[in-house]
Amino acid sequence: MGIVMALDVSMGKSYKVVYDDQQCLSEGEVIHSQAGFQELLDEIHTLPEDMMLVFESTGVYSKPVETFCQKNQLRYCLLNPLAAKKQLEQGTLRSWKTDKHDAHKLAQVHQQNDRPEKIHQPDIYHEIRDLSRFYQEIEEDIKRTRMYLHNALQLSFPELEKFFSSRVTPYALTLIDLFPHPELVLQTSKTKIKNLLMKSTTKRISENRAKQKASEIIEYAKESYPTVSSTSVQTQKVQYYARQLLQLLEEKEKVSKQMIEKAKTLFEFEILTSFPGIGEISAALFIGEIGDLSRFSDHKKVNAFIGIDIRRYQSGKYAGQDHINKRGNPKGRKILYFIVRNMIRQQKAAPNHIVGYYYKLKEQPHPKKDKVAVVACMNKLLKCIYSMVRNNTKYDYSHTVSMDQ
């Protein structure tokens, strides 16, 4: 099997073993520092060039090791945690886990497992992925902060939520920050409310629009029956969460522009946005999570990467119901799901064979359930995108319909 170096990665350090066939040549601890990695590189230079480095992906803790391999152009296998666990359990029923034992086991079972060498994607894909993850984290923060704001508003000035019944807007948040309690509204004139709104909002607002908002908030204040005073902690919380939401919305817009700008430099961005229902944000998020599609040899591997390949279980006379694996990239799966949902929602904008396929599944003699039909559309969409990107062709409804028939 040649020389194998296996690392069991933990926070700030790794346990290293070097094997030639089934013989251990060396072992020891590697500190994730300049000196530690230099010492490891010096040892690697004494080994044959076809040496393979193997380690498990452990999130942020394995990133320094991966960066070390990429900077020094080393061959390495990055193992999925689930795959690594199964390989470590080969040939044993004992539950025995230590850093040292895992490192030895990773090296010993290397020959019995098909471990593909990690293909390094261009840096642009990693940059878009980081922006995509950051964008999604901000979205989660917005949802959480909006929930906190809702709870506080129910006590101080619940009518203010009518300003953002469908979505959070800077106008509404500015008003909430300025007037978190009806008493503060009733102490202020309509003209002053209008001027404060025009001066304070981060977005441009016309004088007529500001007057309208001022009139609305005065009417709401007259009707409101708050459960706390204007000086209470709950009122303070309303202002705090309104300011946080404003800041998060600004950051979200900034990150989305960065992400789209970088994604536009890739040829697949234009291909993705040619598909009805895939906008610039969706295309950038898709690229961020899927990465370079050329590294997959066929669309089935893309499905497995996302986690929508079929999991089948049969034993004797029992045959379980088929389900998707859900062992791939959950963030990528979520983005793909919302893309399909968006296509169905915007079906009147342009003809789309994915939407046609969805309704075909729903109208069969035995109609599929909604989520089953959506997952089938996700599979079809991935196959279509993979083919379009591999062949560098934009979406053509007439061509796809003729292929489906």
Query: Is residue 185 over pLDDT 50?
Result: yes
Least confident of 54-58, 213-217, 258-262, 310-314: 310-314
Whether 83 contacts 27, CB under 8 Å: no
pLDDT band at 389 (very low <50, low <70, confident <90, very high): very high
pLDDT in tens, 8-56: 999 999 999 999 887 899 999 999 999 999 999 999 999 988 889 999 8
Write down the pLDDT at residue 404. Answer: 53
Whether 193 contacts 217, CB under 8 Å: yes
Q: Report the percent of the chain where pLDDT is more than 70.
A: 90
129 to 31, 51, 364, 385: CA distances (angstroms): 28, 30, 39, 18
Query: Is residue 163 over pLDDT 90?
Result: no
Mean of the per-residue pLDDT values of the chain = 87
Give the length of the chain: 405
User: Which of 340 and 316 is assigned the larger pLDDT?
Assistant: 340
Query: Is residue 196 over pLDDT 90?
Result: no
In whole angstroms, what is the distance from residue 178 CA to residue 31 CA?
52
> Over the range 205-231, which residues count as b (16 or more CB within 10 Å of their CB) and which as e?
beeeebbebbebbbebbeebebebebe
pLDDT band at 96 (very low <50, low <70, confident <90, very high): low
DSSP string spanning 220-248?
HHHH---SS-TTSHHHHHHHHHHHHHHHH
> Which residues neighbour 93 within 8 Å (Cβ) at sequence distance 6 or greater?
none
Instruction: Give the right CATH number for 3-120 from 3.30.420.10, 3.40.50.150, 3.40.50.1820, 2.60.260.20.
Output: 3.30.420.10
Closest CA to 325 of 342, 343, 344, 300: 300
Write down the pLDDT at residue 365. Answer: 80
Tokens of 390: 């591999």
- ∠ Cα 82 88 91 (to 5°): 125
Write down the pLDDT at residue 113. Answer: 77
pLDDT in tens, 284-334: 999 999 999 988 888 888 888 888 766 555 556 655 555 666 677 889 999
Residue extent(s) of CATH 3.30.420.10 domains in the chain: 3-120
Query: Is residue 254 over pLDDT 90?
Result: yes
Write down the pLDDT at residue 203. Answer: 67
Least confident of 101-115, 229-243, 346-360: 101-115
Instruction: Give the right CATH number for 126-261 from 1.10.1760, 2.60.40, 1.10.10, 1.10.287.
Output: 1.10.287
Mean pLDDT of 135-164: 92
In whole angstroms, what is the distance from residue 183 CA to residue 65 CA?
59
Mean pLDDT of 249-256: 95
> Which residues neighbour 380 within 8 Å (Cβ) at sequence distance 6 or greater?
354, 357
Least confident of 125-134, 300-309, 342-351: 300-309
Residue with tokens 């999991």: 311
In whole angstroms, what is the distance from residue 147 CA to residue 52 CA?
49
Write down the pLDDT at residue 313. Answer: 52
pLDDT in tens, 1-10: 589 999 999 9
Mean pLDDT of 218-228: 93
pLDDT band at 125 (very low <50, low <70, confident <90, very high): very high
Write down the pLDDT at residue 120. Answer: 79
Write down the pLDDT at residue 403. Answer: 47
Query: Is residue 347 over pLDDT 70?
Result: yes
Residue extent(s) of CATH 1.10.287 domains in the chain: 126-261
For 24, the enclosing helix (H) or strand (E) is strand 23-31
Tokens of 380: 């079809």
Write down the pLDDT at residue 187. Answer: 92
Whether 69 contacts 76, CB under 8 Å: yes
Write down the pLDDT at residue 132. Answer: 96
Mean pLDDT of 73-89: 81
SS3 state at 10 = strand
Query: Is residue 109 over pLDDT 90?
Result: no
Closest CA to 277 of 320, 193, 337: 337
pLDDT band at 402 (very low <50, low <70, confident <90, very high): very low
289 to 7, 133, 248, 297, 305: CA distances (angstroms): 26, 8, 22, 18, 10
Query: Is residue 274 over pLDDT 80?
Result: yes
For 155, the enclosing helix (H) or strand (E) is helix 123-156
